[in-house]
Amino acid sequence: MQNRYAIEQLIEAGVWISQKGWVPATGGNFSARTDSGFVVTASGYDKGQLAPEHFLQFDCHGQIESGTGKPSAETELHLSIYQLVADATCVLHTHSVAATVLSRFIKSDTLTITGYEMQKSLTGILSHEETLQIAIFDNDQDIEQLAEKVALRYQRNPLYHGVLIRGHGLYAWGRTPSETRRHLEGLEFLFACELERIKLEATL
């Protein structure tokens, strides 16, 4: 993607995601792969009111090429996803209540979901009978170390659609910005359903 188009897509996504309530208090960060590397949101800006000057351009090795402002602390994780997932062109990181709470409630390193028709919103999932597995990683303020953990797990078992960071939120990706938005919305719906199911079962 050209820089201008990538930024336009992320600004549009930011408005939509903000309206969903998934990026409170300037949280979250978005990126898109470009012809020379990737663009990513600078830190500290309301994701529902992004402008072109709120983005930084990085090369494919993670070095800043242009832009002002403080790079998102999680830029290294975006870079790692692009290096691992060859066809990923967009990464959207959100902080929804469902993703954050569910990632803490599940004690294992994988959230397993099955039985929902909405699973088919995710590329490659053809039936509600399939089992969707979303990797969960413990939160770490050392983003380089967190990125290494994601990379090591990907090498053992490729990751699809997105990952959860415990007590933090969701990183979703796709082959295009529109597919990434679909994956994000589908996963958020599934997380909300699972959270409600767990609460209901606790009352039985």
- Binding site for Zn(2+): which residues? 93, 95
DSSP state of 31: E
85, 173 in Cβ contact below 8 A? yes
Annotated binding site: 93, 95
Which spans in 85-204 are helix H? 97-105, 143-156, 177-203
Q: What is the DSSP string of 78-104?
A: HHHHHHH-TT--EEEEE--HHHHHHHH
Dihedral, 78, 15, 165, 59 alpha carbons, nearest 10: 10
3-state SS class at 71:
strand
CA distances from 83 to 98, 155, 176 (A): 28, 12, 16
Please give the distance of CA 57 from its chain centroid, rounded to a whole number: 19
Q: Give the separation between CA 45 and CA 53, rounded to whole angstroms.
A: 11
Closest by CA position to 161, among listed 113, 108, 123, 112: 123
